[in-house]
Structure 1
Amino acid sequence: MIPVLYRYIFRELVSPFGVSLLFLTFVFVMTRIPDITNMVVNYNMGISAVFSLVLYSLPRFMEFTLPMSVMIAVLLTFMRMSGANEIIALKGGGMSIYRLLPPVAFFCTLMTLITLWVTVWAVPWGKHAFTVLGQEMARANINVALKERQFNTPFDNVMIYVSAIDIKTARLKDVFIEDGRDPDSVNITVAAQGALVSRPNEGIYTLTLENGIINQVSLDRSAAHQIQFDRYDINFDVGLPDHKQRIDKKDLDEMGIRELLTVARDGKQGAEKRHEARMELHEKLAIPFACLALGLLALPLGLQSLSARHAPGFGLALFFFMGYYMLLALGWSAGGSGGYPPGVAMWLPNCVMGGTAIYLIKQVAGERFFHMPHLFILRKRER
């Protein structure tokens, strides 16, 4: 009887998990629709390139949707079983609530391993591929990299601010440029108008400015000069398309476990950089275990939801889920400032949720139903 029951519970968990994962991932993808529409309509980008950008973003979305889908699947499964009096029938047959733990624990452990694969391999791959493709697209169309009313850094040691961009003519209005490519001087250029022309075969962009002023500050001689111009061209050498110098320089969130360990142990890196690498490493390992902590936490919520005269439902489950990520955000804030060790900051949310799950499971197993805050209570209708 026990193996049959375990297979039955496992099958019941798979269906709501799949539906929840698809729905939540779709919602996250929908947040990118405005950017995607802007790229397709205004920048003439191909559908294949846009599809690739969405594909590379999926692992980052799944890092959040997998734990939430596990929690929803366990909650819905045992709410349904409680509503159909299946839990009462099992108790009447002498079965303890603890006998329901193995299939749930197995399911949550399996999802933990899948999420671990996502955070350790898929997320760094997706982030790095997204960066590489974005840089290649920026080479083909620099308008993708330049944003209105923002400080843009599309080129090394160069900051560009543009108040307005005419997409059709690629004309720039009210241009401000800080050029620090020369280590001995800094050039501040202000122009009323400009245009950016690309020469992809040569790996060069030319920024043509009109009606402006150049303020040149010489650092070694402590001198300043001002030059007015009607037309002025600035060339930016970004290299040929196969140039990978900038592309291969990964950020911490684009690194795998081995790369993060190398940075964390590298004495040549600064203390802050090594600390950030340890934070990123612990985050990649800690987030997957949210599947286990939140999944086990959903078990007593689902068992009690219809066995008493009140039902916490999704309100309390959402409260715990948001509480987990609030603790994770606080951990990043405290750990990032050096106030707490990275291990404590990143693993504390799992410990809190896991401890809460153990407590609530013991309460339900002992028929000691816990009381919910009135905010999360849904009273059953009187007949």
Structure 2
Amino acid sequence: MTLAIPTLAIPRVYWRKTISEIFLSFLVSFCFFFVVFLINQILLFAEDILSKGADLFSVLKLLFYSLPTVIAISVPFSMLAATLMTSSRQHADNEFMAASTLGINPAMIYVPFLVMGIAISAASFMANDWFMPRASNGFRKVYAELIHRAARIELTPYSVLRYGDRTIATGPSEGELLKNVLIVNQDSQPDSSMVSARQVKIAFPPDRYDALLSLQGILEQKALPGSGTKGNFAVTTAEEGEIRIRIQEPMSNFGGTGPSEMSAATLQRHIAEKQKRLDARIADREQQKATALDRLRFSYGSAGSDQEAAAAYRAYRSLSSQKLEDTSLRIYKLEYQKKFVIPSACFFFAFLAFPLGIGSKRAGRTAGFGLALLISVIYWALLFAGQTLGYRQGFDPVLSMWMPNAVLFMAGSIMWVARKLSTGHFL
């Protein structure tokens, strides 16, 4: 009887069969996750879009520009389901054992799964980096048009409207001009103001969610909070002026200009600029601390008064207790890492899926897909927890965002070691 000697070579037929099965399972899983996440996106902005009286074509354009975000989320979980379904099915049909019997090294059977994970990770990152910024710009243009169209309908003669902290009351109209307009600032600041204008022309800058009001014949009455007397106002008049009013805040995760909508290169450039400004502020504070410390030493070493020494000490303590940080810089760093974390999850899912698949019972594709759904929920929770820790607790952005992928890698490694120790082999 002759025994097959394990070889590092993988027959082409095995490559072709395994990769084609993973790819087919990926397409099926992608359709499922794509529909789920697309419905979620529709529900997120459906009420807001319908309240603007959007036509069908505008709604379809908004959905089209939302597709890159949906696809970016769907791809990693589809890869997880595909590799789990394939490995579970092959294990249930004893294909791994047959391949090992034919002399194929068990470690090399793992290679097609990892190759597919790396390939889809790279393709997903490049596609996300190119499509998402452009889709975000397109979404912002269409959404801004809807807001402007709704505002033109709302800003009619003899109407009272509220936009954020400002209330606008309009009088009669003459062509494109509104007459006798009153703008009341109702924010919580003590120096609230009220502006009246003889006539106002409204313009809507493209790609923005605000309106530009060109005022003529302006009268502003502004409260004076520091005067010590209630009812004191400063009255200002002007022939012309402009006020920019935010009509509506951008929807969360849609059509903004935040870091999640930027390309990796653009985001890295913004991070460098913000870090440079923060470093300059820190250097300035250190210089002020050194100056305050010199004054404190001088006051003790000379015949200075106790008041001077106490003032220098308070200044030094105040500067030492200052904690200079930039919240937006932390968000930008988190989003930068996220741009790599989500696409690379395809590889880590493939790394985990193989030992999970060969460790499952003889249930095949169904068990693989069900297990993929469970792991998807766990991974999403870990990703949310990492982002929360990085933003609210000040954890290192790299550690907090890569934590979910590190958990996948450790889980896969532990499964490999445990299987080797318990069975004496990997299959």
Pairwise CA distance, 1:363: 4.0
Deviations 1:22-71 (A, max 9, x none): 22111222234456765776544232221121122222222221111001
- Determine the C-alpha separation between the residues in 1 that align with 2:424 and 2:193: 71
- Distance in 1 separating the partners of 2:265 and 2:226: 42
Distance 2:413 2:153 in 1: 50
Between 1 and 2, higher relative CO (CA 8 Å, sep ≥ 6) is seen in 2
Report the structure, 1 or 2, having the larger strand content: 1
Q: CA deviation at 1:356?
A: 1.4
Q: Displacement of 1:238 after TM fit?
A: 6.4
Kindly state the Cα deviation for residue 334 of structure 1 after the two structures are TM-superposed.
1.6
Q: Identify if the C-alpha distance between structure 1 residues 201 and 291 changes in structure 2 by more than 3 Å, giving closer, same or farther.
A: closer
The separation in 1 between residues aligned to 2:376 and 2:191, in whole angstroms, is 52
Partner of 1:325: 380
Alignment map for 1:39-188 (pairs within 5 Å): 43-142=52-151, 158-159=164-165, 178=185, 185-187=191-193
In the alignment, the residues of structure 2 paired with residue 277 and residue 251 of structure 1 have an alpha-carbon distance, to the nearest angstrom, of: 8
Query: CA offset at residue 220 of structure 1?
Result: 6.2
Query: Which one of 5, 8, 26 corresponds to residue 17 of structure 1?
Result: 26
Q: What is the match of residue 260 of structure 2? A: 253
Match of 2:396 in 1: 341
Decide whether the 8 Å contact of 2:124 with 2:343 is kept in 1. Answer: yes
Q: Deviations for 1:77-119, whole angstroms, at most 9, x for unmatched residues?
A: 1222223332232233233431211111111011101221244
Matched AA of 1:251:
G
Name the counterpart of 1:192: none
1:271 is aligned, of 322, 326, 330, to: 326
Residue 16 of structure 2 aligns with an amino acid whose one-letter code is: R
Contact 1:217 1:223 in 2 (8 A): no
Q: Percent identity?
A: 21
Q: 2:256 & 2:44 partners in 1: Cα distance?
A: 25
CA distance in 1, matches of 2:269, 2:26: 37
Using a 3 Å threshold, how does the CA distance of structure 1 residues 238 and 5 change in structure 2: closer, same or farther?
Answer: same
RMSD: 4.2
Q: Pick which of 215-224 and 73-82 moved more.
A: 215-224
Moved more, 298-307 or 108-117: 298-307
- Give the superposition deviation at 1:321: 2.7
Where 1:306 maps in the other structure, the secondary structure is coil
C-alpha displacement of 1:361: 3.2
So what's the TM-score if we normalise by structure 2?
0.62
Separation (CA, whole Å) in 1 of partners of 2:88 and 2:256: 49
Shift of 1:276: 1.8
1:299 alignment partner, one of 354, 357, 372: 354
Q: 4+ runs of 1 displaced by more than 6 Å? A: 143-146
Name structure 2 gaps, 5 residues minimum.
1-9, 156-160, 169-182, 206-210, 215-219, 234-241, 247-254, 279-324
With 280-289 and 27-36 compared, the bigger mean Cα shift is at: 27-36
Please state if 1:357 is matched with 2:363: no
**Partner residue in 1 for 2:321:** none
Task: Count how many residue pairs are aligned between Structure 1 and Structure 2.
Answer: 317
Q: Structure 2 counterpart of 1:133, which letter?
A: V
